[in-house]
Amino acid sequence: MPATAASKKRSQRFNVRASDREARLIRLGAERRGVNITSFILESACVRAEQEIADTRSFKLSAKDWQKFSEALDRPAQLKPRLKRLFSESTVLEQS
């Protein structure tokens, strides 16, 4: 979240319920980032909301660019050994 957004007066309230595990995870994340829980949750939620909004926006391409885009989508997937190894490793959450 931009610094200007964090300094704006907050007037809206959200009430959420979390499991013990979710609450511990959020507290740990906030602590590691060095921010309070409210800032951590708002920043995380805003980033995710921006991603969702960006994913649903449409875009326009020229016929030539559309052809290149379509060809790229139609190409067979390529095996990426380093990526495969990364996804086979346990995550930080799974290790605790």
Q: How many domains does the chain have?
A: 1
Three-state secondary structure along 32-66? Answer: HHCCCHHHHHHHHHHHHHHHHHHHHCCCCCCHHHH
What sign results for the dihedral spanned by CA atoms 36, 18, 44, 49? negative
- Render pLDDT for 43-79 as a digit per residue (tens, 0 to 9): 999 999 998 888 777 778 899 999 999 999 999 999 9
Which domain, by its residues, includes 19? 3-95
Q: Once rounded to an integer, what is the mean pLDDT over residues 29-37?
A: 96
pLDDT of residue 7: 61
User: Cα(9)–Cα(64) distance, rounded to whole angstroms?
Assistant: 47
Percent of the chain with pLDDT over 90: 69
Residue 54's pLDDT is: 83
Q: What pLDDT is recorded for position 96?
A: 62
Give the whole-angstrom CA distance, residue 75 versus residue 26: 40
Average pLDDT, the chain: 88
